């Protein structure tokens, strides 16, 4: 079974450009999480969805960031306009319907560099 | 928000030795999880311990949880070069649905 799929794996763009990151969660998982990882701040939760509905976006740093989940198998994280301080690795993770255990399954990440 | 803090930040050992990493937190938890991240890759779940459990084993991994001290430890026995990675603890707070990750311990296992 395929794991969480993210694309692109690497993105280099110039300041001011729009960036769209994509994620396909594991089939049957109803939670989807977007994280950002930097050396300074570690792994930060940006937003998460349950059954395609955004539940908590308090981690989204600014209005320049937006996320959507139009269906159970696809989500996007968009940054418009991008800035150099947005450079980081962005991870998508999914987890199955909640029981007692709730491990998260991470994608390989998208390394974003904004020049 | 609540965040686990790992200790040490970095650990360097020889193959065959044991590696111990610690995690401290501040509030009540639902469970605590440990993840591994190899360089340039995503995080991989290793083990979960619930708030009413004190110890768990999985292969060469042993996790303990002391809720009175608000701390957990991850022990990797008979380490291998392939164990070289960063290890993160993640807190599932009581009443929440999300994990809060620490900044990790970088483990280097030399052949």
- Chain B residues within an 8 Å CB radius of A93: 42-43
Between CA B51 and CA B72 the distance in angstroms is 11
**What pLDDT, on a 0 to 100 scale, did the predictor assign at position B32?**
94
Task: Indicate yes or no: CB of A45 within 8 angstroms of CB of B50.
Answer: no
**What pLDDT, on a 0 to 100 scale, did the predictor assign at position B58?**
95
Nearest CA to B56 out of B75, B70, B78 is that of B75
Which of B98, B103, B105 to substitute to test the interface with A, most A CBs within 10 Å?
Answer: B98
Residues of chain A with pLDDT under 50: none
- Does residue B45 sit at the A interface (CB-CB below 8 Å)? yes
**What pLDDT, on a 0 to 100 scale, did the predictor assign at position A1?**
64
Task: Indicate yes or no: CB of B42 within 8 angstroms of CB of A106.
Answer: yes
Q: How far is CA B94 from CA A44, A112, A114, B32, B91, in A?
A: 19, 33, 37, 11, 9
- Chain A residues within an 8 Å CB radius of B92: 102
- Chain B residues within an 8 Å CB radius of A108: 41-42
**What pLDDT, on a 0 to 100 scale, did the predictor assign at position A51?**
94
**What pLDDT, on a 0 to 100 scale, did the predictor assign at position B69?**
95
Between CA A104 and CA A114 the distance in angstroms is 28
Instruction: Give me the total of CB pairs closer than 8 Å, taking one residue from chain A and one from chain B.
Output: 45
Residues of chain B with pLDDT under 50: 1
**What pLDDT, on a 0 to 100 scale, did the predictor assign at position A102?**
81
SS3 letters across B74-107: EEECCCCHHHCEEEEEEEEECCCCCEEECCCEEE
- Chain A residues within an 8 Å CB radius of B97: 31, 48, 50, 55, 98, 102
Phi, psi values for residue B83, rounded to 5°: -80, -10
Cβ–Cβ < 8 Å for A91, B42: yes
**What pLDDT, on a 0 to 100 scale, did the predictor assign at position A101?**
65
Cβ–Cβ < 8 Å for A77, A64: no
């Amino acid at each position: 079974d395929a794991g969480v799929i993210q694309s692109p794996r690497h993105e280099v763009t110039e300041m001011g450009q729009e960036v769209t990151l994509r994620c396909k969660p594991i089939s049957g998982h109803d939670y989807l999480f977007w994280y950002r990882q930097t050396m300074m701040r570690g792994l930060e939760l940006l937003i998460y969805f349950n059954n395609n509905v955004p539940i908590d976006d308090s981690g989204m740093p600014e209005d320049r960031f937006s996320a959507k989940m139009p269906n159970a198998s696809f989500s996007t994280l968009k940054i418009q306009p991008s800035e150099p301080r947005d450079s980081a690795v962005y991870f998508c993770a999914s987890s199955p319907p909640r029981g007692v255990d709730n491990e998260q399954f991470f994608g390989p990440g998208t390394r974003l560099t904004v020049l | 928000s609540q965040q686990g803090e790992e200790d040490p930040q970095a650990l360097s050992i020889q193959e065959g030795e044991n590696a111990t990493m610690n995690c401290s937190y501040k509030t009540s938890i639902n469970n605590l999880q440990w993840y591994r991240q190899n360089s340039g890759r995503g995080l991989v779940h290793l083990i979960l311990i619930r708030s009413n459990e004190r110890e768990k084993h999985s292969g060469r991994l042993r996790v303990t949880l002391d809720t009175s001290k608000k701390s957990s430890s991850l022990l990797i026995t008979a380490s291998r070069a392939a164990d070289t990675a960063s290890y993160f603890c993640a807190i599932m707070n009581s009443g929440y649905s999300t994990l809060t990750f620490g900044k990790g311990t970088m483990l280097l296992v030399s052949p």
